[in-house]
Amino acid sequence: MNIFKKFFPAIFPLAAAMAVSEGDPMQPVSLKNENEKTVNIARPEGNWLILYFYPKDDTPGCTAQAKEFSRLKGEFAKEGAEIYGVNTDSPESHRRFIKKHDISVSLLSDPKGIVAKQFGVNVTMGMCSRDTVVVDSQGRIFKIFRGVNPKANPTEILSLLREK
């Protein structure tokens, strides 16, 4: 939890009201994907949902994380999980990134960081912090990982799903 929200909730009521906690139901989100199609995620429809927030397309850590999620996409599918990367970059930037690095997971554009903030992700200077949110098949926030290691995070999430 953001330290300011923890110690000064009266000063930041909107931020405190917007951020989710583990166990909360996921609120519907709608964002444009790399093809500029609106993706509406209201509930995982019986599947697990992985939303990984990352700072910037085509940077070393973000590329490593996207490539690892792409490499493991089939394994996530076996566990009944859908994966979306989310950041503030445009759909056009996502298309270039996907093409350049052969990324197979869908990337969603949150240009103002509104959805990121809904999930308690810090947005600083137009970039999201590196956080991952796991939503269970019942539509509840199962686990939130803050400040993740980009190379290890996909494997960590997959291990978590395999244990369930």
Determine phi and psi for 20, rounding to 5 degrees.
-95, 165
Does 62 participate in catalysis according to the annotation? yes
DSSP H or E stretch at residue 131: strand 131-135
Of 62, 108, 116, 141, the active-site residue reads: 62
Q: Phi/psi of residue 43, each to 5°?
A: -160, 145
Whether residue 58 contacts residue 52, with contact meaning beta carbons closer than 8 Å, is answered with no
Encoding tokens for residue 78? 């076996």
Residues marked active site are found at 62
